[in-house]
Amino acid sequence: DGGITQSPKYLFRKEGQNVTLSCEQNLNHDAMYWYRQDPGQGLRLIYYSQIVNDFQKGDIAEGYSVSREKKESFPLTVTSAQKNPTAFYLCASSIDGRDAKNIQYFGAGTRLSVL
C-alpha cells in the first residue's frame, strides 16, 4: 500500500533534549511538508521541501530543523530551542507542489509531549 508513515506515534521529550520525528513516503512524491497542530487550531507549516537536498522554512520554523537526503524521507528534529513543543505533528506529501491544487496526503501523525 502506498502512503506516508510517521513514527513514533507518541513521543516524550525531556527538557533540553532534541528529538527526531520520522516521516517516510512511498508515493514517489517530490514535495514533503511538516505541520504542527495545537488543540482547536489549524495546521501551521514548519518546513517544506520541493526536491531532495532542498528545503524552505515555513511560518513557524524556529526551534525545528529538517533534512531531505532521500526523496522518500523527511525527518523533523525538535530542538531544545523549541520551548513549547507539545503538539500533534503531521507530515504530508504532494506530487510536486507545482500545481495550485497541491493535494496533500498526510501521515497519521506523531503526538509529542514534554516530560
Partner 1 sequence: GQSLEQPSEVTAVEGAIVQINCTYQTSGFYGLSWYQQHDGGAPTFLSYNGLDGLEETGRFSSFLSRSDSYGYLLLQELQMKDSASYFCAVSYSGAGSYQLTFGKGTKLSVIP
Euclidean distance between CA atoms 102 and 99, whole angstroms = 5
One-character DSSP codes across 25-61: E-S--SEEEEEEE-TT--EEEEEEEEETTEEEE-TT-
Q: Closest distance between partner 1 and the C-beta of residue 100, in Å?
A: 4
Residue 8 touching partner 1 (CB under 8 A): no
Scanning 11-19, 21-29, 36-44, 72-80 for contacts with partner 1 by CB under 8 A, the matching segment is: 36-44
Q: Is-contact 8 108, C-beta < 8 A?
A: no
Residue 86 touching partner 1 (CB under 8 A): no
Residue found by looking up cell 516521516 in the block: 23
Residue 77 touching partner 1 (CB under 8 A): no
Q: Closest distance between partner 1 and the C-beta of residue 81, in Å?
A: 24
Contacting positions for partner 1 (CB under 8 A): 31, 35, 40-45, 48, 50, 56, 58-59, 90, 92, 96-109
